[in-house]
Amino acid sequence: MSAVTIATEQATDATSAPTTGTTDAPEAADSRVLDQLDVLEAEAIQIIREVVGELERPALLFSGGKDSVVMLHLATKAFWPAPIPFPVLHVDTGHNFPEVLDYRDETVERLGLRLEVAKVQDYLDDGRLRERADGLRNALQTQPLLDAINEHRFDGVFGGGRRDEEKARAKERIVSLRDEFGQWDPKNQRPELWNLYNPRHRPGEHVRAFPISNWTEVDVWRYIEREDIPLAPLYYAHEREVFQRDGMWLAVGPYSEPREEETVETRLVRYRTVGDMSCTGAVESPARTNAEIVLEVSASTLTERGATRADDRISEAAMEDRKKEGYF
């Protein structure tokens, strides 16, 4: 068991800890019932603490997207009043929405985190990677991610992946082993028993940990609403210049320019997921508040990836193939 950096020094006064915040009224003895969000929150905090307790050098993959922001919020609670005891890692494809990068930097500043950035552009510039014919960079993230894990000797990487997102992710363990090449072997996963998590691994291997595995998209939004977690503005309805491609509204920008036959329109849209500008579609929506989004998502007849991700439409197994190679 590794030493926990926040608990290594000499003891001082154990009794004088002041507290902030409110004191909740004790519940009646027969009403010890946790709300679904409380159950999910408690499970996620337990997983985050267990991985930190067992491993030497964890990190959290932080994209600025809603799931990774929820992860940071949970980590804040897990270690309060100590700071989050690990850095955050962002794989920058170079195709990010500028407002998401701004949000990423503000959040890192607000929570006093250390940010490591691995840039796909660096790999393209020196020839280690080449642009794909379709210009999409999502699948190019894997090598910079794995190199960053090796370079920083991270032995565990937290991700905000959820099992309800995609059918290959539905097969994923909460704590999931990756071999020295970062590969996921879905046919040979460890049994995951009770709530006893086992992140042990051999040198060169690492684990990915998904504390919000059991959350659905609606759970995430209800939690964001309940906890009043600030998000990047593009999750909320706004006017944007967009054009239609493959049944999705893509934003007009430096990485997603309309072709000749594609017409640019101004629409009231928001984003359900945040990935690259070049492959993440906006949805038409008037939802400007978390409460409105909870209602909208509850009533949606499309999955978030089905509605918004070009890269997952390539084949039935696009996500599985990326995951096997080391992607999240």
Partner 1 sequence: MGAHTGTLLRLATAGSVDDGKSTLVGRLLHDTKSVLSDQLAAVERVSRDRGLTAADLALLTDGLRAEREQGITIDVAYRYFATANRSFVLADCPGHVQYTRNTVTGGSTADVVVLLVDARKGVLEQTRRHLAVTALLRVPHVIVAVNKIDLVDFSQEVFERVNAEVQAVARELGVEEATAIPVSALDGDNIAERSSRTPWYAGPSLLELLESLPTSDDPTREAFRLPVQLVIRPQGAAREKAHRDYRGYAGHVASGVVRIGDEVVVLPSGRRSTVTGIDLGERTLEEAFAPQSVTLRLADEIDISRGDIIAAAADAPEPTQDISAVVCWLGDAPLRPGQRLLFKHGSRTVQTAVRTLDGVLDLDDLHSVTAEALSLNDIGLVTLRLASPVPVENYSTSRRGGSFLLIDAHDGRTVAAGMVGATLPTAADAPTQPEGDEEWDI
- In the complex with partner 1, which residue's Cβ is closer, 119 or 313? 313
Minimal distance in Å, beta carbon 291 to partner 1? 18
Q: How far apart (Å, rounded) are the C-alpha atoms in residues 89 and 153?
A: 12
In the complex, least distance from residue 38 CB atom to partner 1, rounded to whole angstroms: 7
Q: Which is nearer to partner 1, 100 or 319 (CB)?
A: 319
**Are 159 and 75 in contact, with CB atoms under 8 Å apart?**
no
| Secondary structure class of 268 (helix, strand, coil) | strand
Q: For residues 322 and 307, what is the distance between their CA atoms, to the nearest angstrom?
A: 19
Q: CA triplet 183, 188, 194: central angle to 5 degrees? A: 110
Task: In angstroms, give the least distance from the CB of 322 to partner 1.
Answer: 12
Q: Quickly count: other Cβ atoms within 10 Å of residue 13's Cβ.
A: 6
- DSSP codes of every residue in 75-138: HHHHHTTSPPSS-EEEEE-S---HHHHHHHHHHHHHHT--EEEEEHHHHHHTTSS---TT---G
List 116's β-bridge partners, or say none: 89
Least distance CB 265 / partner 1 (angstroms): 23
Residues contacting 28, CB < 8 A, separation 6+:
none
Residue closer to partner 1 (CB basis): 92 or 166:
166
Decide whether 27 or 260 has the Cβ nearer to partner 1: 27
Encode burial over 211-221: b for 16+ CB neighbours within 10 A, e otherwise.
bbbebbbebbb
Q: What is the closest distance, in whole angstroms, from the C-beta atom of residue 46 to partner 1 in the complex?
A: 4
User: In whole angstroms, how close is the CB of 307 to partner 1 at the nearest point?
Assistant: 7
Please report, as a single letter, which amino acid is at residue 100.
V
Query: Is 75 or 129 the residue whose CB approaches partner 1 more closely?
Result: 75
Residue that is written with structure tokens 């704590």 in the block: 175
- Return the number of the residue (45 or 124) whose C-beta is nearest partner 1: 45
Residue among 133 and 193 whose Cβ is closer to partner 1: 193
Shortest Å distance, C-beta 4 to partner 1: 5
